[in-house]
Structure 1
Amino acid sequence: MSPYIMSTSDLILRVFVDSIPILPEFSTQIRRIEVESQVNLPSSCEIEFTDPDLTIPMECGLDIGNFVEVRAVTGDDAAGEAIFFGQVETLEIQFENSGGKLSVVRAYDASHRLLHGQKTMGYPMMSYSEVAEAVGAEHAIVTEAVPHPVVHEMVVQANETYWDFLVRLAKEIGYVVNVAINPLTGTPALHFGPTMPAETAPPSISIDPSPLSFSIGDDRIINLEASVSGSGITAASSARGWDQSLGLPSLGEAPTMSDTSLNTVLPEELGAELGGVNQFVRLENLTGNEAATEAASEGLAARLSGAYANIEIEMRGNPSIMPNRAISLADAGLLTGEYTITSSIHTFAPNLTGYRTSLVCSGLEDRTLAGLQDSAVTSSKLTGVYSAVVTDTEDPEAMGRVLLSFPWLSETYVSPWARVVQPGAGQMLGWQILPEPTDEVLVAFENGQLNSPYVIGGLYSQDRRGAIPFGEIVQGAPMIRAYTSRDGHQLIFNDSPENTSLTIQTTLGASCMVRLSPETGIEIITLEEQPIVITSASDVTVNSEGAVLVNASDVTINGEGDVSVSAEGALELSSTGELSIAASSVNVEASGDISLVAPAVDVSGGIVNLGA
């Protein structure tokens, strides 16, 4: 037997407060009840009372914040089937000349808790389903999340309500979000998962009839419109992204196949016939790796394909008609088949039409394909550049990335690892300069997405100044360009007319310095007794077209082999002290005269030979 109530003429809608039906003196004043539900939207309930004294909502306990339940009941089944459970959010009064004073109560299901306020935060190393479970737990909502295999480095809620955030995630991967009601207990649960496949619909012809199977001419149906269209459909859908770890594009593709509409017309065939080889390409949200791109392609294909068929039925009251349930339709020509319900409206007007139900089966989106363009995009794109503060530079993958905070946006949110723009970066090329923790930096976002930041430069401020005062750097025009490391090591380009030079120095010039100047040449200076050492594994040659001058307190020349001193002109050795020449043997030879001049000359030896 079916667990659902069959549509009958004596079905009515009844209002319960704290599981107790409101008193007959109030229920008889109900002019209209309307319960509207749709995937990816909160369900709403509007109750309208004829109320001359404008007191009924308060008298029957329908104050703002109180819980209300609506059930479809019959005389034989006073408990009936729940179609709504939610919380009163709005009270309104109206006046009509013909109808008098009216009190209107509006309530929303449990998902309304996810619509109060916007927030920015990150969920590291989680799938979208795990994020949905975390959000549901935070708001004390029972959550049924169907697992999804793709785990993301960081899932970012970008200044969105929790509801908009979950809907965006769901649409990206072809899931839906809605609060489903247990028809017997009325217990709500947040559903995050794929749509109910249309093939799960009950058969249109069965010994045991179902409230979810229909045929053209069915006496339950008041009117019906059904259509199928290939407008805008392509045979395949594609999402795109960029894998920041690999530095490569990620491309996904999925066939346009639908499991929310099953009939004799196939959307992929329509796409191939009308669109040829063209694809529907999604660029609104760039994904971060191949797996995420494939999932986004499949989600796009599901949304696109579901829009090709549209079924609208108005019928006698049928509480079994709820979003994300499947119906079957017979005797409908090429549209005979199975369909997943997208939205439903239950209306009870006791003095007019009684209980009526309407349904729409139109896939995961509104049935206009234009709605696809921004359906899975964060509501607020960050299209400019923004200030951020570096919080960490210890990149676990050693790629030179940093973590960022955005104090103007959130006190707690920290970004995913962000790449830093490096001038001239390439394979074994370019600068490698990372900002320090607490540094202020300027950030841009790939495709305007908060989860894809890039650091494009550092910033000075009143409290964070450069090592060289800008008053010295700018003298009518920028004269000095400099880079300073944390320990004060500097590379300084000085273009001032009186001191044009390139200087490399340590500790802000307090220890070692190399200065290259077109005016004074090359200077190598140490200021705190640091030695200057030149080491070479091969020859060292000093060439000068002028003089070479070496001044020092002591000069020592050591050679492990021969030492040769030669000159094309005169060679002079002079000293105000002694001159000592010591060797195993000494040869003095001249092609001309040798002259020794001194007050006295001593020549001594074992044998002394003097000859000509």
Structure 2
Amino acid sequence: GAALDISDAYLSYLRASSSLNGAGQVTVHLMVDDLAALGTAKLQVGKPLEIQLPKGTSAVKTIFKGDITTVGFRSFGAQQSNMIIVEGLESSHRLASASEFKAYLKQKRSDIAKAIAGRHGLATSEIKTTDPQEPYLLQHGNDFDCLSEMAAEIGFEWFVAEGKLYFREQGSEQPVTLKPSDDTLLSVSVRYTGTPVASAVKVHGWNPATQEVFTGAASKVGSPGALLNSDASFVTTNYGKAKTAFGKDLEVATMPTPAKASADTRAGAVARTMIGSGLALEGETYGNPDLRPGTYLKLQDLGSAVDGKYYLTEVVHEFTQSSDTRTLFYSSGHRPEKATDTRSSTEQWAGSLVIGVVTNLKDDENLGRVKVKFPTLGGTTESNWARLVSVGAGNQYGFDVMPEIGDEVVVGFEGGDTRFPFVLGGLWSGKNKHPDTTARDNGKVKKRLWQSVAGHKIVFGEDSGTAATFGITMQTKSGKAKLDLTDEKITLEADGGNEMVLKAGGSEITFGKNGALAIKCSSLKIDAQQAIDVKTSGGDVSLKGVNVKGEGTAGFEMKGALGKVESSGPLTVKGAIVQIN
């Protein structure tokens, strides 16, 4: 924009900082006689702000470009000047005010970075696409945090500069050389700390389709190269010494990874943070606009052990009335702005739901508990006894569906404490199949069911279009014993080779294997409002009892091709008229 033109104003203080770990910031103090300048259109929140420093004798270079976010003043009394205070944030701060809830299918995190850049009018030429494609990614918050989270997951850095979104592993621009012999280097302090360090970094993942553990590994632990943030021999040598003295294989409990390529990338991100954290550098030079985060500083003439390149993560340009412009520079490792990082600590891992595979059902206390192993911890570490979350569980009641050994389950931890796990439920997968693939059709649920390990099941038919599929069915694995309940009828069925027995008290009805029906009871009463028809097509009908009585209120008739009436004692035939033909 145009230069800030305020009469009788002079600059008393300037501090402009930029960092790989957050939006750049600037503070400006202007001394004025009249505070009326605060009313000018250029000094308002939301207005653009650009700071430039001299480069050489005639050129200038931008060190900050963003927005005014704060304006204020300080008065020192009637006889003294007043101070106008202006603060601003580099334009990436706008990303924190823009949120998006969107799912990305079969895309890379760099693809999401490009989408974010497009929404904010940023060029994408510095977005590197070396990261692996993921089957599913979800943005569920503001663009700033999304970029920070994605960068941490894959070992990238991100920042905004010169109208571009940088999303990459590490910069490779030509370094700026500083040396004491020509007064370009005023001071520098460098330290290398050899802890923490690992000889290998591994991340375990879980493939639900095959129910197998896979392992990703960081490829640059042995030869870290740029990850050390310096090629100076004292840094590279001491890293090697530290790895030999302290290095062990580090297996990281991290967030889920869908494939080995993703696990390799995640392990690399953990290694990058660990390796880069060893170097700490801070120094000072005269105002130099060429120094900025994401570039290399080259130190010379300090000695062969320390001469070399150093990667800058933060740069501060500072001006005061009492001194020339100074540039402070720092290197402090790869530390993303957002604390969601790689979720590699036990607390972060245990604070989320994780996958478990059941290993033990022998609960000596008979509390319905199980033990599980955790695929993301390598698949060998076993949990404490985990209680089951069951529907309606209470004192000797509730729905008990105990998982089997080898079942995949979802595990949580009470208060994030791994000593107190609980199992929320089981999961289906490509290997652990759903019990009925016909339960859904054309996006609609046709039936709901519960099926035991043996194959017995209860089915709730939800398809109201047909009577046959709208009701409740209970059956054994083979289907030879089956109960159907519909609005039209109730059917209790046993296969022809099976016997079915109904018992109540001392009464019993038996449906025999050969089709016979037997009724056994202390007494039997049949009461019909209309006719009773007893008929056999090929056998005899026999009635037998201590006394057998037959009575018709209107008539009584017995008929057969042959007839016989016989009594072993007296026989009485009685009627108003008795006719014998």
TM interval, short-chain normalised: 0.5 to 0.7
Specify the alignment match of 1:234 in structure 2. Answer: 198
Pair 1:192 & 2:167 matched: yes
Specify the alignment match of 1:329 in structure 2. Answer: 299
Cα distance in 2 for residues equivalent to 1:137 and 1:74: 32
- Which residue identity does 2:483 align to in structure 1? I
- Which residue identity does 2:171 align to in structure 1? M
Q: Equivalent residues in 2 for 1:481-500 (5 A)? A: 484-487=460-463, 488-491=470-473
Q: Is the 8 A contact 1:72 1:82 kept in 2?
A: yes
Q: Is the 8 A contact 1:157 1:165 kept in 2?
A: yes
Q: Is the 8 A contact 1:33 1:48 kept in 2?
A: yes
Q: Is the 8 A contact 2:68 2:87 kept in 1?
A: yes
Q: Equivalent residues in 2 for 1:389-538 (5 A)? A: 421=426, 484-487=460-463, 488-491=470-473, 504-507=483-486, 509-514=487-492, 519=504
Percent identical residues: 17
Cα distance in 1 for residues equivalent to 2:249 and 2:184: 42
Distance 1:282 1:434, change over 3 A: farther
- Which residue identity does 2:491 align to in structure 1? M
Pair 1:68 & 2:49 matched: yes
Specify the alignment match of 2:22 in structure 1. Answer: 41
Specify the alignment match of 1:91 in structure 2. Answer: 71
- Which residue identity does 1:225 align to in structure 2? S
Picking from 220, 234, 246, the partner of 1:275 is 246
Cα distance in 1 for residues equivalent to 2:87 and 2:510: 83
Distance 1:510 1:223, change over 3 A: same
- Which residue identity does 1:244 align to in structure 2? P
- For residue 598 of structure 1, report the CA deviation from its aligned partner: 8.3
Cα distance in 1 for residues equivalent to 2:510 and 2:492: 5
Pair 1:146 & 2:128 matched: yes
Picking from 101, 117, 123, the partner of 2:104 is 123
- For residue 84 of structure 1, report the CA deviation from its aligned partner: 1.5
Distance 1:384 1:276, change over 3 A: closer
Cα distance in 2 for residues equivalent to 1:547 and 1:504: 23
Unaligned runs of 5+ in 1: 1-17, 182-187, 203-211, 386-418, 440-456, 458-480, 494-501, 526-533, 535-539, 558-564, 580-595, 600-612
- Which residue identity does 1:324 align to in structure 2? G
TM-score computed with the length of structure 1 as normaliser: 0.59
Picking from 262, 285, 288, the partner of 2:231 is 262
Cα distance in 2 for residues equivalent to 1:483 and 1:88: 65
Q: Is the 8 A contact 1:114 1:161 kept in 2?
A: yes
TM-score computed with the length of structure 2 as normaliser: 0.62
Q: Is the 8 A contact 2:315 2:328 kept in 1?
A: yes
Cα distance in 1 for residues equivalent to 2:113 and 2:100: 15
- Which residue identity does 2:191 align to in structure 1? S
- Which residue identity does 1:155 align to in structure 2? L
Picking from 332, 338, 343, the partner of 2:309 is 338
- For residue 374 of structure 1, report the CA deviation from its aligned partner: 4.4
Deviations 1:420-458 (A, max 9, x none): 94599975686879799799xxxxxxxxxxxxxxxxx9x
Cα distance in 1 for residues equivalent to 2:509 and 2:139: 57
Specify the alignment match of 2:255 in structure 1. Answer: 285
**More displaced 10-residue stretch of structure 1: 59-68 or 291-300:** 59-68
Deviations 1:42-71 (A, max 9, x none): 122222212453333543713222112111
Q: Is the 8 A contact 1:240 1:251 kept in 2?
A: yes
Picking from 158, 183, 191, the partner of 1:219 is 183
Specify the alignment match of 1:454 in structure 2. Answer: none
Cα distance in 1 for residues equivalent to 2:341 and 2:510: 65
Unaligned runs of 5+ in 2: 355-423, 451-456, 464-469, 476-480, 494-500, 522-531, 545-556, 566-581
| Other structure's SS at 2:271 match | helix
- Which residue identity does 2:460 align to in structure 1? T
| Other structure's SS at 2:17 match | strand
Distance 1:178 1:149, change over 3 A: closer
Give the RMSD, CA atoms, in angstroms: 4.6
- For residue 248 of structure 1, report the CA deviation from its aligned partner: 2.6
